Amino acid sequence: MENEKMLITIERYDKLIGERAVYKQKVQELSEENLKLQIEASNKIPILHLNTQKSNDDEDDELLDDEEEELLDE
């Protein structure tokens, strides 16, 4: 009876060791993938910085010019 309990305990221990190895491998894979993604993200050039954004002041001037023209036409 004692030998059977010992055998069950050893089998459980072996199973836990095996599961631990699987989890350690998965952690390693995910860590490597995370590192690759961080490197990719840091190497990307933001699109907004390639071109300067047009200011709205020009559009406002155009609107005022159109309104002034309408007033002048009247």
Q: Give the DSSP letter string of 26-49.
A: HHHHHHHHHHHHHHHHHHPPPGGG
Mean pLDDT of the chain: 78
Q: By three-state DSSP, how is residue 46 classified?
A: coil
Averaged pLDDT, 21-50: 87
pLDDT at 46 over 80: no
pLDDT at 25 over 70: yes
pLDDT category at 43 given cuts 50, 70, 90 is confident
% of the chain exceeding 90 in pLDDT: 42
